[in-house]
Amino acid sequence: MFSDDEREQAVHWRDFRAYCVGRDNGERSNVTAYGTGEPDWITSIGFSSGHNAAVLTADGQLIANAEDSPALAKLREFIQDWYDAGKPGLESLHGVLNQRPDGWTVTAVLRAQQ
């Protein structure tokens, strides 16, 4: 967990998820989100590819398919980098419009990646 204070935890959780989306935003992004409904309301964010997956849940659990999972290594790297960057949040993202042959897409990008 990012904080013992419930409100602060909610803000940090929102900001970390935004950071993951803004940083891993390329065409080969493997950001993975998971959530359940009642009665548990579990939410998580992480990465998956091939035969590997790892997520961090809102209550601070790291869940992965294996201890040496590349997805787990990437998730741990993102967590450490988020802390090292000063825990940037929603305010650090901006949207970028990309024209494609079949229309437009919007990508969330960290301001540092401009």
> What are 41-51's pLDDT values in tens digits?
888 999 999 89
Quote the pTM value: 0.86
Tokens of 107: 């990508």
Half-sphere exposure at residue 41, Cβ-oriented, CA atoms within 13 angstroms: 3
Q: What torsion do the CA atoms of 51, 57, 61, 62 make, to the nearest 10 degrees? A: 30
> What are 85-101's pLDDT values in tens digits?
999 988 999 999 989 89
When pLDDT is cut at 50, 70 and 90, the band that residue 1 belongs to is confident
Rounded CA gap, 49 and 44, in Å? 16
Max Cα distance, the chain (Å): 48
